[in-house]
Chain A
Amino acid sequence: MTSRLYHIAFNTFREAVRDRVLYNLVFFALLMVGSAPLFSTISIGLERIVLVNLGLTAITLFGVVIAIFIGIGLVSKEIEKRTLYTVLSRPVRRWEFIVGKYLGLAATLIVNAGFMALGLFAAVLFVQRSLGMQDTYILIALYFIVLQFLVIIAITLLFSSFSSPLLSAIFAFGVFVIGNFADDIRGFASLTEGVQRWLITAVSYMVPNFGSMNVVSQVAHGQGVALGLVAMNTLYAALYLLAALSGAILIFEKRNLK
């Protein structure tokens, strides 16, 4: 089983690289390193804050766009090209196919984020001339960004298991945007009463709370992140991606592929 998962995941990763997905890294590195000297002209003492904010936000947005646009094609492309039938005619179970595809895209995004992080640290080093303790907190922010990727890939796979690629992309991007406003939805709930309040609160807890995984501003100011929050976010992301993946697997298991 492990070998089958590995092969599906590795092929997915290789396919993503062949699709020139990683070209965005060059663009990102140029953006970061090229714009770093400009930050010093914005305001005294703001260079690092702007750089870290911009860098981490760009990593998130690049990653989410890649996750969604590759994620929607993971299953549908295989069906369209009829390669899925070749895969499933071998001793590969449908759930293994979904999990393997998930792992392959997750690996692509982790590598992607890793390289972009290197570009960001290079820019920080350029601006500050040295790296300090406060810069290690950027790693925690990066870890949270990767958690967001893992959740969004699972959600995209879930949508693409029953919907068209275009609708899946719209749904997944919508969930990402709403998830970033989960705290505000909860805020709106507190301003209402009765059934309305209950319903809005329920919605706010069911959408993925990407706000809790967003510590970009905090680390840009050199503030640390509590270990408890790291652990709880990890658990939360694990639960969310497991739920979305299970949903995708259950739908794919029942799907008529003829």
Chain B
Amino acid sequence: MKPASSITRVFTALLVVCIIAIPLTARRLNDMRPHATLQDVLYIKSAKAARYVSLGYTGLAASIYWTRAVQYFGTKHIERDRRYELLEPLLTLATDLDPQLTVAYEFGSVFLSQPPPEGAGKPEAAVALVERGIQRNPNRWRLYYYLGFIHYSERKDYAAAAEAFERGSRVPGAHPFLRTIAAAARQKGGEYETARLLWTSIYETTEDKLIKKTALMRLAALRVDADITHVESLIRRYYEQFRQYPTRWNQLIAAGYLQGVPADPLGQPYKLMEGGRIEVADPDSLPFITKGLPPGRDADYVPPPKSQP
């Protein structure tokens, strides 16, 4: 075999070095401009213009805008940002370009409706988005389900929630649990069991990791609120019996009110504070809780962002 010339060897070596260095440099570039795509996403704000620019390939353009909406939400979510200005226009663009993109109505409405920093805190916009989805896709029972869910969970409008679930249950092929949820929302709106039923169904039916995680956090928060309500009632009974608040869990256990030290869903024991008040050990790890928060910190408190490695 003829030996390779020096030119071949030099350029082969150069090619190999460059091929190794290119992805590393590209990665570095990507880290240097993590938000560039997200800041630039709205060159085009109207679906009509986007349709022209995409040369009619609206399905692909919609997928790109939906991907950008997810990235935008994900980035803001990690940063614990309270402002999600571009989320609504991005979702509108994606769904206007592809009206059958039901995933954008479903998950997009959850992203929009949740209170900041978990979401954009725009339940009315979320309702409008899903209603548009229903208008365009009347046979997708999941859309009614998400509509009812937003009415129930974020707007606390239990009658509207029940109506949405009932409308969904009439769609051919709808999941039977819609009837159960509709009845529960109608009869026991605002009760712990109904909320738990709703979030459990969300957890079990979604395949999206982020939504699953949110459902788990919501279920954990519901349990914390229910636990603390229950234990506070026990403390009140203890006070009526002994005319003083317990200062240690052992006192409640010794008096037969508790079997052991109560703990939150993360396994961390609740803290028994002065005056019979209860606090969770780490409120930052339990978003959505309304009880067990330290004094001066309400449910809307936003913890400082975690430092990035």
Contacts and interface: CB of A to CB of B under 8 A. Distances in A.
Interface in A185-232: 186-188, 190-191, 202, 205-206, 209, 211-212, 214, 217-218, 226, 228-229, 232
Contacts of A226: 32
A168 to B, nearest CB: 19
Interface of B: 5, 7-8, 11-12, 14-15, 18-19, 21-23, 25-30, 32-33, 36-37, 39-40, 43, 63-64, 67-68, 70-71, 74
A233 interface: yes
B14 A205 contact: no
A243 B23 contact: no
14 contacts: A183-B36, A183-B37, A184-B64, A191-B70, A205-B23, A211-B37, A212-B33, A229-B33, A232-B25, A236-B26, A239-B18, A246-B11, A253-B7, A253-B11
B37 A187 contact: yes
Contacts of B7: 93, 95, 249, 253
Contacts of B14: 242-243, 246
B80 to A, nearest CB: 20
Nearest to A98: B11
Contact of A206 (B12, B23, B70, B74): B23
Interface centre among A226, A228, A232 (most CB of B within 10 A): A232
A236 B22 contact: yes
Contacts of A97: none
A224 to B, nearest CB: 13
B1 to A, nearest CB: 14
Main SS class of interface, B: helix
A12 B39 CA distance: 40
Contact of B22 (A186, A214, A218, A243): A243
Contacts, number: 91
A139 B15 CA distance: 31
Contact of A191 (B26, B30, B67): B67
A184 B15 contact: no
Contact of A217 (B21, B40, B67): B40
Given A181-B64, A202-B23, A212-B36, 16 more contacts: A183-B30, A187-B37, A187-B68, A188-B63, A191-B67, A205-B23, A206-B23, A209-B26, A212-B33, A218-B39, A232-B29, A233-B29, A239-B18, A243-B14, A246-B11, A250-B12
B67 to A, nearest CB: 4
Task: Indicate the member of A181, A202, A228, A246 with the most B CB atoms within 10 Å.
Answer: A246
Given A206-B22, A242-B14, A190 B71 contact: yes
Nearest to A190: B71
A240 interface: yes
Contacts of A242: 14, 18
A235 interface: yes
Given A239-B21, A240-B18, A232 B28 contact: yes
A114 interface: no
B108 to A, nearest CB: 14
Contacts of B67: 184, 187-188, 191
A239 B25 contact: yes
A161 to B, nearest CB: 12
Given A243-B22, A246-B11, A205 B33 contact: no
Contacts of A218: 39-40
